[in-house]
Amino acid sequence: MAGFLGTLIPAGAGLVSLLDSLRPRSKPRAFRDENAARSDYVKVADIDAVPADGQPRRFVVLQDHVDAWNFNAKCPVGAIYLRRAGTDGGLVALHSICPHLGCSVAPSPDGQAFHCPCHNSAFDLDGKRVVKAGKENPSPRDMDRLELDADRLQRGEVWIRFQNFETGKEEQKPTL
């Protein structure tokens, strides 16, 4: 009986510790953005890093990752293209994944469009589908635009609401 009780106490303590570690936790205070109005936005760059000439620039999106046991700061979760558009230099944020089948798009060699090498989808610099020489564009929709935080843009920082979208569908639908 004493042996059973001697085993039961450490086993119970281990079980409590295991179950406690599985509870979801918020980010450690040191890693929170104290100025963040919405936690679903992530900082990508300072506005000065986006070329003024309207050419797209690729940025890796880094987000904090928290699971039951670990906190990993600034893990790469995707990439976007940022460019200044129009006469007012307004910012456009486009997902770097082709909406057709999920391949990575890249600027064309002349820098005047985006090209997906997988099935020859083409997009203009604003992300709109382009038809080349009478060939149908296989992409079901334009490149996916991402929402920018206008308040932070006024302060010179580019924050986006990063999300991935289902591929192969005409409607832009976020993945879970």
Where are the chain's structural domains? 2-161
Distance CA 109, CA 160 (A): 27
Helices and strands: H and E segment counts in the chain: 2, 9
3-60: per-residue pLDDT in tens? 666 676 776 666 666 666 566 555 444 444 444 444 689 999 999 999 998 899 999 9
- How is residue 138 annotated by DSSP? -
Of 22-31, 98-107, 108-117, give the lowest mean pLDDT range.
22-31
What CATH architecture does domain 2-161 belong to?
A: 3-layer Sandwich (2.102)
